[in-house]
Structure formats: C-alpha cells, structure tokens
Amino acid sequence: MTSSLIRLAEDETVEARQKLFAEVSKLVATDLDERSGRELELFAQVMLKIYSTGAANDRLLLAQKIAPCAQSPADLVHRIARDEVNVAMPVLAECPLLTRDDLLLLIEQVSSAHMQVLARRKDLPTEVSDVLAAKGDIAVHRILAGNKETKLSRQTMLKFVKLAAEDEVLREDLSLRSDLSPAVCQELLPLVDDETRKRLRSIIEGSLSQEQLDQIARLKVLRKTFGDTLNNPDIGILWREAERSAVTLDELIILLLQDGRFNHAIELLSTRGRIAQSALKDAMFNGKRDVVLRTAAKAGLDVPAFALLAKARCTHLKLPAAQGAEWTSAYVKQIANAANARQGRCDDFQARRRDKTAREPSRTQPA
C-alpha cells in the first residue's frame, strides 16, 4: 500500500491525484476515531494539500466520515464546510466541532444553500440563528421557523412575523412553534385563519402542549400526503388506504370531522367499534350516550378525538356545546373505569396464583 501511494504521489496527472486523494482518505478515515493526535495532524496536512484534486464523490465520502467524529482535524472540517454544498452538507448539518464562532464566520462566507443546511442544525445558538435570519433568504427563514429543535430569539420571531404577512409557508411554520411568546402570538393573530387563530389564543392562555402542537403538525402533513385519497366516499376503501399509510383511527376521524364529514366519521367508528352503522347513527342522533361511549371505547378512540366527535355532534344537531363537554367527561370516566377493571382482574389473577402456590405442598427429591 505504501509503495503504491508513493507512486501515485510522484505522478502529477489529474487521474493519479484523484486516486491518491481517494486512497489516503480511505486509509485514514476508516478508523478515524482510533487514530492518535499526531496521525490525525499528518492526515489533515496531506489532505489539505491535495484536497482540490479530489473528485466530488470522494470528497463527499470523506465528509461523511469526518462529520460525526469529535476527533476530526478542525482545519480539515473547516475546509470541507466551505466546499460545494453537496459535499459540505454532512459537516454543515451535524459536525460537533463547528463552534458558535465557526458558524458565524461560515455564514459570512458561504452560499444560501449552505445556510439552508446550517439552519437545520439542532444545536444552533441563538446568536447564530439571529445572523442566519438576518443574512438568509426566504428559504432559510422557512427552515429556521420550522426547526423546532432550535430556540429563536424574540427579535428573530418578530422579524419572521413581519415577513409572514407575505409568505403563507413561513406563517404556517411559525405558528406551529411551541416557543412563541404571547407578544409574538398576538402579532400573528391578524395574519392567520380562524382555526390557527384559536390555536394561537390557546397558546397565549397556556392550554396547548407540545404533544398537541405535534399532532396538529402531523395532521397537516397527513392532509398533504394522503391527498385526494381522503376524499374517497367509500369508508371501507378509505380505511384500508389509511392503514397502508400508517394513519391511525384517531387521525382519520379528526380529518373527516375537520372536513365536515360527520356521517362518514360515524360510519368509520361503527366499522372499528363493530356495531351496525344504523345502530350507532341512531345512538348519535337520539342521544343514546352509553352506546356511543361503549363503541368508541371498543374502537380504541382517544379522548381528544372523541371530544372533537362530541363537539361535531352538537354542531351537526344544533345542540348546546355543554352537552359535548358532558359526553367527553363521561367518556374519560368510562376509559378510566375500564382501565381500573382490567387492573383489578389482573390483580385478582395474581393473588389467586400466589394463593395456589402457597397451598401446594413442597416437593422434595427422594434420597
């Protein structure tokens, strides 16, 4: 191997230089985390001297090896970070060696495409996201707003609110963040639709958790990816497609109710709760609450989805909204009682098993 590398080093053709780059990077980067400090220093010196001769694919392979390793030579990391974005991406996205000062300097020197990758990092300091917001274009802004792993400063939030007035995507990404301050929510209220406005008011009041925000974001993604399939009036086919797409019963019920398809939601619930559609529809329309509760519990419907179903029933039948809240409270109790009953049966079984074991005479082996 050493003699072949020497021959490649002595050959000044483009092909030889590219091969030398590939062979040296493969030789050292394979066991990068096991190399000594001196070995890494020499490796970096060699690679930096021949870096410009390496083919793009080989430089990318090196970047992928270098990026996650905390022992990677810093000078080489910085060189790769300034390469074309397709090569630099692994380092820009995850390399732990890029400090706050490194990132700030990079932003001043790289393209918008590089900044878009930086904006996806999970460990962005607030100072860095502020500079990205100031220097970046609309694509960078959208990625930053959608990066829920990174905290944005109040200054950047308010900047994005102003820009969101003309950008629907930015507006949606921003409104789904859980770290919005009451002041930022207040600024967003005039820009958003009724559904989002209610959600922002709930955030101001502190009533929406991260889990609920994640569900809202998930439903928006499902609506886009599920596409025209959601419009299928055949609930049997719709449910099979939902299962194939990993859409849960709760999610599909919510999507149907959001679209005003109350009767289709009843049909789906009757199928999953194993009750005749006519029987469940009669229970819904005629206030036979216990039948509805048992069916929903049998289908495994979560409380939030049931609450939306109960609310939709009141809207559909023009009933007082308080009745929906009463049905939801009753459902919560039913779920709790069922869980307690299951636990009680389990405890009884364990107790009987222990009692039986205690009564059995001990058996000893004959001498």
Residue-wise pLDDT for 279-321, tens only, equals 999 999 999 999 999 999 999 999 889 998 999 999 889 998 8
pLDDT of residue 358: 57
Specify the pLDDT at position 1.
47
pLDDT in tens, the chain (367 residues): 455 555 555 556 667 667 777 777 776 666 666 777 787 788 778 778 888 888 898 889 889 888 988 888 899 899 999 999 999 999 999 999 999 999 999 999 999 999 999 999 987 999 999 999 999 999 999 999 999 888 898 889 999 999 999 999 999 899 888 788 877 888 899 998 888 888 888 877 666 666 777 777 888 888 888 878 888 899 999 999 999 888 999 999 999 988 889 999 999 999 999 999 999 999 999 999 999 999 999 999 998 899 989 999 998 899 988 898 899 989 988 888 887 777 666 655 565 666 656 555 555 444 4
How many other CB atoms are found less than 10 A from the CB of residue 64? 14
What distance in Å separates the CA atoms of residue 7 and residue 106, rounded to the nearest whole number?
37
Give residues with Cβ within 8 angstroms of 144, minimum separation 6: 119, 129, 132, 133, 136, 150, 152, 156, 160
Amino acid at 39: E
Give me the pLDDT at residue 359, please.
Answer: 59
Kindly report, residue by residue over 199-240, the tens digit of the pLDDT: 888 877 666 666 777 777 888 888 888 878 888 899 999 999
pLDDT given at position 265 = 95
- This prediction's pTM: 0.58
Q: How far apart are CA 252 and CA 346, in angstroms?
A: 32
76's tokens: 């080489």
